[in-house]
Every structure is written in structure tokens, then in C-alpha cells.
Amino acid sequence: MSNDAVIEPASQEAAADKNKILRMLDTLRNVFRGAPIFSLVFLTIALICALFAPLIAPYSPIETNPTNILKAPDLTNHLLGTDNQGRDILSRLIHGAQTSVMIGVLSVLLAATVGTVIGLVSGVFRGWVDRILMRFTDGFLALPYLMVALTAVSLLGSSVINVILVIGLLRWMGFARVLRGEVLKLVEMDFVRLAMAAGASKTRIMITHIFPNITNTLLVLATLELGLAVIVEASLSFLGLGVPRPMPSWGSMLKDSQLYIYLTWWFPVIPGIAITLLVMSANLTGDWLRDRLDPTRRQL
């Protein structure tokens, strides 16, 4: 039977339903054209873990079990083995997803919000407002990112909020600059000029005309930044400034586990793989979004 064979529908309604489904599948196929399937699936799994961790995790992430230390992965009991305190690694990974994803998403949200506001205001208001904001942006861009993050968390103390604040408030510049560029182009367009001529306030133009048209770029940038935020959280944990114990985060799990590499393989490797997959998925998804949402742009 060739691929083009058509199966005779049993009735008119069935034919209509079938067409609807085929059309839906077609739309889906179109929307997700060229999508990195594995990445999207992984991100979804991470998100589900982040939202429903207590419901999914088989064991408590903080209950230590002194007689069960560093046990190997075992399909009946601890799927990914136990750590140096006898805790189930899989459960900690699931709860850790909550922490790491939360930190990643919230810090990117913060950076995106600040960056978008600055980019919009800069691009729409222009003039001295633009100059001052860009000077401000340049100042922040001159800061050595990881060094300042480290210093700030060291001073403020390590907590989830502080890590989110520090990561978020040091990454908004990329958003601001790129979005400002987009805004400058949009402002020249006819529909905006018409609105301005009609007497709409600059603020209104910003919100109703410009913002909806930069969301694509915003989404791409946010996805790409997510990867970096997760890596920075891991680095901060490594340098001793991670989330409060006993909350697991993938970064702190990776840090705690490193010295056990001489004794076991699963404990030091699994959190690292989890981080790598998360960041990879975020990056590949961001790449795909960039291509998908901007057809004039070259494939990268």
C-alpha cells in the first residue's frame, strides 16, 4: 500500500472529523516544525517535577538514613541510588528541579522584566532618557559578572531570594540592548507613526503597539538566558554560596558529590548530567525558537 492511498470514509461525518484531526495534526506539525523533541520533552519533565515534586518523588528529599549510605542504583528500591547521607537521589533530583528551575525561571523573569522596561522606555522615549539609560546599561555591562555575583551573594547571604535577585539583576542588560534595537526599528514603522500622529501617549504606544511585537525576541532571549542562570546557580553553589540546606538544588548536589567520585559513579555524575541536559534543552529550544519565529534570520 503506497503512502498516498486514501481510506474510504465510512460516512460524511466521519470524513469531516477525520479531516479536522488531520488538519489539527498538520497545524501541530507546522508549529513544531524542526523542533528539538528531546529538549522540549526534557523541559516539560523538569517543569512537571518543579511544580509537582512532593507528589512525584518516591521518598523524602531530606530524610537521612545513616545505614543506607552511598547505595548503588537499584530498580526495586532507589532508582538512582542513595547519596552520602542515605537520601534517595531520584527524590532529591525531583525536588532539586523545583529549586533549580524556580531559580532559573524567576531570575530570568526578573532580568527580562527589567531589561524589557528599560529597552522599551529607551527606544520609545529616545533623547536624553535613552542616553542616560544606555549609559546605565553600559556601566552594568562593564561589571565582571561572576565576580560581582559572588561578592553580592557573599555579602547578602545565601538564600534562594538572594540568588534570584543577584542573577536577575545582573543579566538584564542583554535584554535591554537587543530589545531596544528592535524597538527602534518598530518605532519607525507606519502603524506606530500613525498612532503617534493620532495623539496616543508614548506610554500607550509602548504597551499596546510595541510590546506585543517584541515578545518573540523576548521569548528567545529568555530561553537562552535560562541555561546560563542554571549554570551560574551551580557555580555559586560550588563556591559555597548556594541554597540553604537541606533543600536540594542540582548545583549543590553536584558540589556535595564531587569528592565521592573516588568511591561511586552515580552520585557525582547524575546531578551533572541533569544540569547539562537542562541547559542543553534550554539552549536548543532557544535556538529553535529563534529560527522558527524569525524566518528572515539565518539558521544558526
Partner 1 sequence: MEFRRFNLKSLAIASATGLFLASLASGEPANAQSKAWPDAYPKKGVAGVPESVDKLTIVVDSWGSNDLNPWNASQVNFLSDYYQLRLMMQNPNGDLVPAWATEVKHTEKGLTFKLNPKAKFADGTPADAEALKKNFDGFTGKYVGTAGYEAPLWNGAKAKTFIKSVKVVSPTEVFVETKGPKPTFMWNLGGNGYHLYWYGNPTQLLKGPKEYLKNPAGGGPYKIKKWDPGNRIVLERRDDFWADYPHWRKPQVKEMEVITVKDPAARFAMLKSGQADIVYNLPWALAKTLNRSEDGVRGVNPGKGREWTQTYKANGMLTLTFGCSIQKREAAKPAGRKDQAGVDIPKWKVSKVCEDHPTLDRRVRRALNMAIDKRALSAGPHFGLSNPIGSIFHAGSFGSRPDKVKTPTAFDLEGAKKLLKEAGYEKGFSMEGHFGQFAGRPGIPEAADFISSSWEKLGVKMVWKEHDPSDFVRGFRAGVFSNVPVNLQTWGRQDHSGVQISWYHATSGYVGMYNDKVENLFFDVTSTFDPEAMKKKLAQFEDEVLGLEETFPLYGMTLVNAYSDRVLSHPTVEHSPHFKHYDLVLMRK
Partner 2 sequence: MGRYILKRLLEGIITLWLITLAVFFVLRLGGGNPVEYMLPPEATQADVIALTKAYGFDKPLIHQYYVFNKKLLQGDLGTALAWDKRPTLELVWERVPATLQLTTASMVVAVIIGVTIGAISASRPDSMFDRVGKVAAIIGQSMPVFWVGLLLILIFSVYLNWLPSAGGIERLGWQGIIMPAASLGFFLIASHMRIVRSTMIEVLESDYIKLVRSKGLPSRMVIWKHAFKNASIPVFTLFFVNFAALVSGAVVTETIFAWPGIGRLLVDSLILRDYPTTQAVILFASAFIVFINILVDVMYAWLDPRIRVS
Closer by beta carbon to partner 1, 1 or else 155: 155
Can the peptide bond before residue 244 be classed as cis, meaning omega within 30 degrees of 0? no
Residues contacting residue 99 through CB under 8 Å, at least 6 positions apart:
160, 243, 247, 248, 249, 250
When binding is defined by CB under 8 A, the residue of 152, 163, 164, 243 that contacts partner 2 is 152
Give the footprint of partner 1 on this chain (CB under 8 A). Answer: 60, 62-67, 69-70, 84-86, 154, 157-159, 240-242, 244-247, 256, 258-263
- Which alpha helices (DSSP H) does 32-126 contain, by range? 37-56, 89-125
Beta bridge partners of 88: 82
Answer with the entry of partner 2, partner 1, none that 85 interacts with (C-beta below 5 to 8 A by kind): partner 1
Q: Which residues of 61-75 are buried (b: 16+ CB within 10 A; e: fewer)?
A: beeeeeebeebebee
Distance CA(18)–CA(11), nearest Å, equals 11
Tell me which residues in 270-289 interact with partner 2 (CB under 8 A): 272, 275-280, 283-284
Distance CA(248)–CA(232), nearest Å, equals 16
Answer with the entry of partner 1, partner 2, none that 284 interacts with (C-beta below 5 to 8 A by kind): partner 2
Answer with the entry of partner 2, partner 1, none that 66 interacts with (C-beta below 5 to 8 A by kind): partner 1
Instruction: Quote the least distance from Cβ 156 to partner 1, whole Å.
Output: 10
Site size with partner 2, rule: CB under 8 A: 40
Mutual angle of helices 250-257 and 89-125, in 10-degree steps? 130
227 binds partner 2 (CB under 8 A): yes
- Which alpha helices (DSSP H) does 126-144 contain, by range? 127-141
Q: Which range in 76-84, 106-114, 152-160, 205-213 contacts partner 2 by CB under 8 A?
A: 152-160
35 binds partner 2 (CB under 8 A): no
Residue with cell 529563534: 290
Binding site for partner 2 (CB under 8 A): 135, 138-139, 141-148, 150-152, 154-156, 227, 231, 234-235, 238-239, 251, 254-255, 258, 261, 272, 275-280, 283-284, 298-300
